[in-house]
């Protein structure tokens, strides 16, 4: 019976959390985690469908694994997550040696399906219902196998992600998430509080609440409607917990009560990730985002007035269908004046089955997309550097995450290394120090700034 499992994760924090919970469940079932594909009896890809590049990486890896499968026929290969839900038949056409295809709403079945695959009779498929196959309640029920809670064996860690919601009902025209993760479902507040309390008792200092549009959280399980601000208030009372974050937010649901909670609750970090996607009203309308650029700018004003010093970050898509140079310049203006801590900038990638792919031509040439991406990134980097320079000479509190990327790349070893961590406003800080500081809150004096990183010394 296969017992060594390797999980490779692509995509968002939601996928990272899914893989973490799956790994804990597999260990609970007696499996061991392998450090590489070739060291495993079971190779699982937890996939993303937001951009074509992520899918191409999976198909490339699956192609290479065919040789491993030929050499070791007992190896089990699985494709999990969003790509599995969206493209089941295509996966089998391109990679007939795959044994498991499991959608994100069925990932809790993976241990059982591995057992079945080991017994033969495959391939094995577990998918949730299509959004158009029945009523909202029926479709939502087909995603109910998604494990909201962590298994008891989830390892203790200073930082943890906690699922607050699953699915999405916003239906932006470019996005596959509503179809691959199903209807929006909110986890009961009492379950979230209980999980965070367990995590804090195990030494967790920081939790991040996850949801596709987490500020639309609304729990009705207690006979009334609890909003995200109410949930934050309950979590703020948990002993031992030091920081609370939440991502991702939708601009149209950035309410005054939520901003007041960020301002008034001492453990809630002054950090708000609120994707804008574009600064052009015409593009936002084609994206079906549900707000205008003026509405978004007003939201930024309310954030600045209610939570002075808060760090706002955003996402932008360049080269969306029909985007003109004038549209793009409006996005540049929003980035320049929005003063975001940082922004994640992507070239538009048509996703089959989305309204945008069906209704609009992908009419912005690739070289134009590339140029706009680089130009917008340069504007954002200049804004980020200007903001980061204000931290030089200041002392900040950092939650140490471990060795920095540079330290890992250079293979640094020993008790002293270059470490990396984050401030409450989500700024990355790099400094030299004892590796034993990982998982602790420390004070760092900032001495130098770059667009995405602050450099300092232990204070």
**Which pLDDT belongs to residue 122?**
78
Average pLDDT, the chain: 94
150 pLDDT exceeds 80? Answer: no
**Which pLDDT belongs to residue 128?**
94
The candidate with the shortest Cα–Cα distance to 259, out of 219, 299, 213, 295, is 299
pLDDT tens profile 102-139: 999 999 899 999 999 998 887 999 999 999 888 998 88
Asked whether this chain's domains 147-389 and 395-458 adopt the same fold, the reply is: no
49 close to 83: Cβ distance less than 8 angstroms:
yes
Q: What is the pTM of this model?
A: 0.94
pLDDT tens profile 266-301: 999 999 999 999 999 999 999 999 999 999 999 999
**Which pLDDT belongs to residue 289?**
98
Residue 300: what are its φ and ψ, rounded to 5°? -60, -40
Q: Residue 403 and residue 432: Cα distance in Å, rounded?
A: 9
149 pLDDT exceeds 60? Answer: no
Residue 6, beta-bridge partner list = 43
**Which pLDDT belongs to residue 307?**
98
Percentage of the chain surpassing pLDDT 70? 97
83 close to 47: Cβ distance less than 8 angstroms:
yes
Domain 395-458 part of CATH 3.30.410 = no
| Strands 441-449 and 395-403, sheet pairing | antiparallel
Homologous superfamily, domain 147-389 = tm_1862 like domain (3.80.30.20)
328 close to 372: Cβ distance less than 8 angstroms:
yes
**Which pLDDT belongs to residue 166?**
92
Please state the length of the chain.
Answer: 459
Tell me what the mean pLDDT of segment 47-73 comes to: 92
Percentage of the chain surpassing pLDDT 90? 87
50 pLDDT exceeds 90? Answer: no
The candidate with the shortest Cα–Cα distance to 441, out of 458, 455, 453, 456, is 458
pLDDT tens profile 395-414: 999 999 999 988 888 887 87
Cα 90 to the chain's mean position, in Å?
25
**Which pLDDT belongs to residue 147?**
56
Write the DSSP assignment of 2-71 as a string of letters.
Answer: --EEEEEE-SSHHHHHHHHHHHHHHHHTT-EE-SSGGG-SEEEEEE--SSHHHHHHHHHHHHHHHHHHHH
By CB atoms closer than 10 A (0-12, 13-18, 19+), residue 279 is: buried
Alpha-carbon distance values, 140 to 72, 179, 230, 309, 354 (Å)? 39, 11, 24, 39, 19
Tell me what the mean pLDDT of segment 47-53 comes to: 89
Q: Given pLDDT bands bounded at 50, 70 and 90, which one contains residue 302?
A: very high
Q: What is the CATH class of 4-140?
A: alpha beta
Q: Given pLDDT bands bounded at 50, 70 and 90, which one contains residue 2?
A: low
Dihedral angle sign, alpha carbons of residues 308, 311, 315, 318: positive
Domain positions in the chain:
4-140, 147-389, 395-458
Q: Given pLDDT bands bounded at 50, 70 and 90, which one contains residue 239?
A: very high
């Amino acid at each position: 019976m296969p017992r060594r499992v390797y999980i490779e994760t692509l995509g968002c924090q939601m996928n990272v959390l899914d893989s973490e919970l799956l790994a804990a469940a597999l260990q609970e079932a007696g499996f061991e985690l392998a450090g590489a594909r070739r060291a495993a009896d079971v190779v699982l890809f937890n996939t993303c469908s937001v951009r074509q590049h992520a899918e191409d990486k999976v198909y490339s890896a699956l192609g290479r694994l065919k040789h491993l499968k030929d050499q070791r026929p007992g190896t089990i290969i699985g494709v999990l997550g969003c790509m599995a839900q969206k493209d089941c038949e295509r996966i089998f056409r391109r990679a007939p040696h795959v044994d498991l295809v499991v959608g994100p709403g069925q990932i809790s079945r993976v241990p059982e399906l591995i057992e079945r695959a080991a017994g033969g009779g495959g391939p094995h498929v577990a998918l949730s219902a299509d959004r158009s196959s029945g009523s909202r309640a029926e479709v939502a029920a087909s995603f109910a196998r998604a494990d909201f809670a962590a298994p008891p064996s989830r390892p203790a860690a200073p930082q943890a992600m906690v699922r607050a919601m699953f699915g999405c009902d916003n239906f932006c025209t470019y996005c596959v998430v509503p179809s691959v993760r199903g209807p929006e479902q909110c986890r009961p507040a009492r379950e979230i509080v209980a999980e965070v309390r367990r995590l804090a008792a195990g030494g967790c200092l920081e939790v991040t609440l996850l949801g596709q549009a987490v500020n639309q959280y609304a729990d009705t399980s207690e006979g009334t409607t609890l909003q995200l601000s109410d949930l934050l208030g309950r979590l703020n009372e948990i002993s031992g917990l030091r920081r609370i974050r939440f991502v991702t937010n939708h601009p149209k649901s950035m309410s005054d009560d939520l901003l007041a909670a960020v301002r008034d609750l001492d453990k809630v970090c002054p950090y708000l990730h609120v994707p804008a996607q574009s600064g052009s009203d015409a593009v936002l309308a084609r994206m079906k985002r549900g707000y205008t650029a003026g509405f978004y700018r007003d939201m930024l004003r309310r954030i600045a007035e209610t939570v002075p010093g808060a760090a706002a970050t955003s996402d932008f898509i360049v080269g969306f269908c029909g985007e003109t140079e004038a549209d793009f310049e409006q996005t540049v203006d929003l980035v320049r004046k929005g003063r975001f801590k940082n922004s994640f900038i992507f070239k538009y990638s048509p996703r089959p089955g989305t309204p945008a792919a069906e209704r609009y031509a992908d009419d912005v040439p690739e070289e134009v997309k590339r140029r706009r991406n680089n130009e917008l990134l340069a504007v954002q980097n200049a804004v980020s550097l200007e903001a980061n320079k204000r931290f030089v000479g200041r002392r900040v509190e950092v939650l140490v995450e471990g060795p920095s990327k540079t330290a890992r790349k250079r293979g640094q070893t020993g008790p002293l290394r270059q470490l990396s961590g984050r401030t409450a406003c989500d700024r990355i800080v790099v400094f030299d120090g004892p590796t034993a500081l990982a998982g602790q809150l420390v004070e760092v004096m900032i001495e130098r700034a770059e667009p995405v990183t602050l450099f300092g010394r232990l204070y």
